Structure 1
């Protein structure tokens, strides 16, 4: 695509320097051996200038592309636990729990068309907000959803019908953010779908358009096709630093932000799993949720349970030093990484919440010694980019 064409579009112009060339991919070693002093002193400054406007409080970020922008809370309520496997969710208590999160300042919710009743619960919740709290609170609440289509032809009618379904379930005229997923990159239908979604955005049915689990190469292709992407939702944690290998470089050039999940690894990055051996039956907490089993496999691929225990001990030292939970340290570390606008924490609505731990995150500032302690262990783990592939590749392996 010619640079002259790219320069006419705000998204495409920023990626023009990459068009027709291979994205420079620095060695993993150079990524792991991070300058802790730079992290401690400049990362928060980068977040201030890139992820949010200076007048925003530290718990807020803005994701944008051209004239499209959306303000979010940097700790996002992840609603995937409504999809089953984490306990039965009752609508009444679940919606009451959503109000507790909002009243504590956590007004951004993330869901998907396939997270069981998540979109329906949001619709019940936002309807109650309108009736009981009024316009002021409604204007602060954000509902981010995802569309994960089957591998069929992406016609305008098919795309629009699915977006209309989410709008109806969520009881909104316009989706705050639509995050798009695609299973098979060999099928270029994802570009057709995204062009239809862009048209629907221009028609007012979507406010901002985003991706979930796309790799660096395809993100670049999408941007070169002038699709106004504001963010890419990817797995990112102390163990899984893949987004910082190559993805963050492209994001820093183009302005696309990262929204992360798996940041506390389903709860593995917490006091609950410190100094326990999960390989011995009944010796420690059970791996009794889909997330715990998923992220235990990530630990095995990264370096094993013994090395993970060393990481937990260093995180525990840092958490004791600052008087916060281990999970707060894990999330703060990822929020401080380049290009990261927000991180999700799963909410087991009506069953369990982590509101207090989440509030600690915004009071926490990690220093040079904290980064050095954590890096002393993480640099000994494997590069999951080599083991699994780029962001989202774990969902596309045969």
Structure 2
């Protein structure tokens, strides 16, 4: 097993700096064979990538993890099985948030994941006008004190609401937000708040669903549903359009490729390392196409991107910034992190 760098969250849980994202099994990226998905997870663990990110709304993600976790333990007697870190999300529709409602949701996740406590619960809320998110977080904090949850975290919360939550004495370990060389909104004000409050950023969209790769270098702009055939590609193509369009994006890809050649790595490695080096970023979530052809093919890139041997220079960063500073201001266009889900 490779030695993958880890980061310690506020409650003591250590997670890999590259996390295995399981959104791709939700159904929005095509049909998934659950048994093949379970089998595909082993390659990540063998490589030392032992942290999996999922959600109660990601289709069978929690069940797939649970089956793999159970099989892994059965193959190793006693406590010899590799330790896994499982981060899930609690994404309720706004409604009553009594403790029994919150407890029931967590019990469902634990049953699916086949665990007796949750390493990390990342809470998401759709509508800030409905203040019952504070009630839910209060119950989650109590359940953390009771030992049901180790780390209490957030997903797609903006800086202002994070300030409101922490001011009530609720300890937050991390916030999962979109962050890439294209979407740098967390740098505007969230990073500073997180650094001051010992909150790690766990980032997604860092490779823009695969658009930040050699596959799209020099390629004509994809516009049809056939070309943008996954939820990720469709989502992040819209982000690129808002950021500056396909022509500027191609200039960015050329620059990233030039940097990658200097470091004898892939363009995706450079894009990932760029975000890993940002203040307050604890880890980057890289999507795993578990159960489909080609699953696991990006493991080498994930390992290289978090290796201490890959160090972006001042020259590298200046070249990237020469392109990104010509883009539009996404904070002005979209708002703070997560605002795209509340427009």
TM-score range, shorter chain: over 0.9
Partner of 2:304: 360
1:27-60 CA-to-partner distances (Å, cap 9, x unmatched) read xxxxxxxxxxxxxxxxxxxxxxxxxxxxxx7611
- The CA deviation at 1:386 is 0.5
- The TM-score with structure 1 as length reference comes to 0.82
**Secondary structure of 2:96's partner?**
coil
1:223-257 CA-to-partner distances (Å, cap 9, x unmatched) read 00111110000000001000011000101111111
Whether 2:250 is the aligned partner of 1:309: answer yes
Task: Mark the CA change 1:347 to 1:134 in structure 2 (over 3 Å): closer, same or farther.
Answer: farther
Task: Mark the CA change 1:312 to 1:70 in structure 2 (over 3 Å): closer, same or farther.
Answer: same
Q: Aligned partners of 1:208, 1:181: CA distance in 2, in Å?
A: 14
Task: Give the one of 325, 328, 335 matched to 1:382.
Answer: 328
For the aligned residue pairs, the C-alpha RMSD in angstroms reads 1.5
**Secondary structure of 1:229's partner?**
coil
Q: Aligned partners of 2:77, 2:291: CA distance in 1, in Å?
A: 23
1:146-178 CA-to-partner distances (Å, cap 9, x unmatched) read 010011011011010001100110000110000
1:39-97 CA-to-partner distances (Å, cap 9, x unmatched) read xxxxxxxxxxxxxxxxxx76111111xxx221000000000000113232212221111
- The CA deviation at 1:189 is 0.6
The answer to whether the 8 A contact 2:18-2:285 is kept is: yes
Partner of 1:157: 100
Partner of 2:14: 71
The answer to whether the 8 A contact 1:97-1:350 is kept is: yes
- The CA deviation at 1:281 is 6.4
- The CA deviation at 1:277 is 1.3
- The CA deviation at 1:188 is 1.1
The answer to whether the 8 A contact 1:180-1:212 is kept is: yes
The answer to whether the 8 A contact 1:129-1:137 is kept is: no
- The CA deviation at 1:130 is 1.0
Q: Aligned partners of 1:99, 1:213: CA distance in 2, in Å?
A: 29
**Secondary structure of 1:167's partner?**
helix
Whether 2:69 is the aligned partner of 1:126: answer yes
Could you list the structure 1 runs, at least 4 aligned residues long, displaced by more than 4 angstroms after superposition. 134-139, 279-282
Partner of 2:141: 198
More helix by share: 1
Task: Mark the CA change 1:74 to 1:149 in structure 2 (over 3 Å): closer, same or farther.
Answer: same
The answer to whether the 8 A contact 2:222-2:228 is kept is: no
Q: Count residues in correspondence.
A: 336
Whether 2:286 is the aligned partner of 1:342: answer no
- The TM-score with structure 2 as length reference comes to 0.95
Q: Aligned partners of 1:71, 1:126: CA distance in 2, in Å?
A: 18
**Secondary structure of 2:327's partner?**
coil
Task: Mark the CA change 1:61 to 1:134 in structure 2 (over 3 Å): closer, same or farther.
Answer: farther
**Secondary structure of 2:13's partner?**
strand
Partner of 1:98: 41
Q: Superposed, which structure 2 residues align to 1:203-242 within 5 Å?
A: 203-242=146-185
Q: Superposed, which structure 2 residues align to 1:27-46 within 5 Å?
A: none
Task: Compare CA radii of gyration and give the structure with the larger one.
Answer: 1
Q: Aligned partners of 1:280, 1:396: CA distance in 2, in Å?
A: 25
- The CA deviation at 1:106 is 0.3
Q: Aligned partners of 2:334, 2:257: CA distance in 1, in Å?
A: 28
Task: Mark the CA change 1:203 to 1:279 in structure 2 (over 3 Å): closer, same or farther.
Answer: closer
Partner of 1:396: 342
Q: Aligned partners of 1:89, 1:315: CA distance in 2, in Å?
A: 32
Whether 2:233 is the aligned partner of 1:292: answer yes
- The CA deviation at 1:292 is 0.5
5+ residue gaps in structure 1? 1-56
Q: Aligned partners of 1:71, 1:281: CA distance in 2, in Å?
A: 41
Q: Aligned partners of 2:217, 2:191: CA distance in 1, in Å?
A: 30
- The CA deviation at 1:133 is 2.6
